[in-house]
């Protein structure tokens, strides 16, 4: 690096290093590098720093300083982490079952948070000496009761995938029972009993098809909670 030794000679303290970083940052800003280009530049600086360090060259410090500045650029330009709801939307196209499970968990967590918030508001009212017969206190108590009911309801719900599997197993069990019951009817010499057996067979087939549909179901998110 031409002039690197002279540059290092002038960089004796933190303010000098900070000023050098500002010069670098201005140059990078003017170049308008993309995140991918910044990542490539960072990797190149890591390799240059390592080579210079192994050879005992003073340029290693400059490479390190520039590498730190590039890393800061990458941190500042990184997109914000998605919220759980946004993550579920992203998963919808690649793994709809996982997206469905995540939304179910968010529903459970939301009910729990609502319950905790309602309990906290009522506790605060008690601590502040609210009259338990006052309209405001009764309204808080009613909200808490509704939050408890909502939380109890959602907490007993199976995740959708498990609920569908349970229904599929129930359908298959009923289909098997219908097939067994129909066999004796089909073997009967009486035509009307044979007809009943055939009807049971069709019902059993419908139940088996329903089980297959449940197990092959791909969740579709409509945007509704």
The per-residue pLDDT for range 53-105, each reduced to its tens digit, is: 888 877 788 888 888 888 877 777 767 777 888 888 888 888 888 888 888 88
Per cent of the chain over pLDDT 90 is 33
Through-space distance between the first and last CA atoms of the chain, rounded to whole angstroms: 59
- Tokens (6 digits) for 202: 């069709």
Apex 18 CA angle, 33 and 51, nearest 5: 65
Contact (CB, 8 A) for 60 and 6: no
Apex 163 CA angle, 90 and 82, nearest 5: 20
Contact (CB, 8 A) for 211 and 175: yes
């Amino acid at each position: 690096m031409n002039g690197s030794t002279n540059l290092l000679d002038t960089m004796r303290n933190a303010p000098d290093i900070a000023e050098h970083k500002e010069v670098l940052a201005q140059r990078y800003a003017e170049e308008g590098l993309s995140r991918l280009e910044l990542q490539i530049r960072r990797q190149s600086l890591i390799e240059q720093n390592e080579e210079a360090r192994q050879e005992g060259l003073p340029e290693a410090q400059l490479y390190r300083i520039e590498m730190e500045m590039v890393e800061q650029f990458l941190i500042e330009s990184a997109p914000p982490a998605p919220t759980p709801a946004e993550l579920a939307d992203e998963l919808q196209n690649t793994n709809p079952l996982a997206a469905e499970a995540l939304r179910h968990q968010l529903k459970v967590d939301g009910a729990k948070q609502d319950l905790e918030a309602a309990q906290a508001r009522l506790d605060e009212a008690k601590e502040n000496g609210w009259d338990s017969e006052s309209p405001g206190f009764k309204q808080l108590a009613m909200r808490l009761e509704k939050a408890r009911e909502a939380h109890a309801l959602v907490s007993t719900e199976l995740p959708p995938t498990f609920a569908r599997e349970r229904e599929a197993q129930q359908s298959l069990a009923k289909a098997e029972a219908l097939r067994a019951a129909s066999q004796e009817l089909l073997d009967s010499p009486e035509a009307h009993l044979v007809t009943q057996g055939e009807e049971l067979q069709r019902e059993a087939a419908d139940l088996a098809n329903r089980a297959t549909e449940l197990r092959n179901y791909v969740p579709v998110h409509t945007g509704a909670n």
